[in-house]
Homo-oligomer: A and B are copies of this chain.
Amino acid sequence: MHGLPHLEPSMTATPLPEAARPANAHAAGNSPRPSPFKVACSSCNLRELCLPVGLPDAELERLDNMVALRRTVSRGGLLFRAGDAFQSIYAVRTGFFKTCVSSEDGRDQVTGFQMAGELLGLDGISNDRHSCNAVALEDSQVCVIPYERLEELSREFNDLQRQFNKIMSREIVRDHGVMLLLGSMRAEERLAAFLLNLTQRLQARGFSPSSLVLRMTREEIGSYLGLKLETVSRTFSRFQEEGLLEVRQRQIRILDQEGLRKLMNGAKC
């Protein structure tokens, strides 16, 4: 029907037709199983979303050598945990992750959700140990980027250096956005912001902007947004009553994106 046979279950149930997706974003590249053919940055369908954005071909080929190793993490598995020695950062190839930190007394907080093309493990650079857990929310595969090698290459290629710094900085900016959300938004606004952010990132990956399948539980959403799972659930229900969404378990269809957007900015009432 949509011309994408063998598409593994990924973020959304309704990917756009091939023509509307980024060049080379063919289905095989999104499969959690090891790809039959060798995958290199230079031929990766994610290269315009991932670390290599905008790098010239010469540098891309050098990247191919650096990123030799891949790692598979099955649903529920840990890519790394807080306290692990830091050696590499990781780029999500397929699948979906959450990262979470926890305080001594056992509370924990989801600090982010990562999808294809996004980097994991930047926290480890600070003191050679990871400071959060990275958990796969579905069967996933990551590219392993040895940090020492990345440092070397960055010295050689200033495009790469610049790109990597941009990614770190972007993470800081994103975190500030989350702080704003946690510090000053009400439950409805938080959930609206969350959904809009997710769909935007999915859209950049060629998926529908209006239809998605959540890979995380209500509790995980709640943890990320500083809410209890019951509040998340109730807010979903309210959105549905108001005709903003259609919610069936983790299947979400956005009926009124503009309404969600207004809800976020309308603020005070």
Q: Which residues of A contact B (CB under 8 A)?
A: 101-109, 111, 122-127, 131-132, 151, 154-156, 158, 161-162, 165-166, 168-173, 175-180, 182-185, 223-226, 265-268
Contact = CB atoms under 8 A, between A and B. Distances in A.
Main secondary structure of the interface of A (DSSP, over half): helix
A179 B179 contact: yes
Contact of A172 (B102, B126, B154, B182): B126
A180 B175 CA distance: 11
7 contacts: A101-B180, A106-B267, A108-B184, A125-B168, A125-B169, A131-B173, A168-B168
A219 to B, nearest CB: 13
Given A103-B265, A158-B151, A172 B179 contact: no
A185 B109 CA distance: 10
Nearest to A102: B180
B172 A123 contact: yes
Contact of A103 (B178, B180, B225): B180
Contacts of A268: 105
B183 A226 contact: yes
A174 to B, nearest CB: 9
Given A126-B169, A165-B168, 17 more contacts: A103-B184, A105-B268, A108-B180, A109-B176, A109-B179, A111-B180, A122-B168, A122-B169, A126-B170, A127-B166, A131-B176, A155-B158, A168-B168, A168-B169, A172-B172, A175-B176, A182-B226
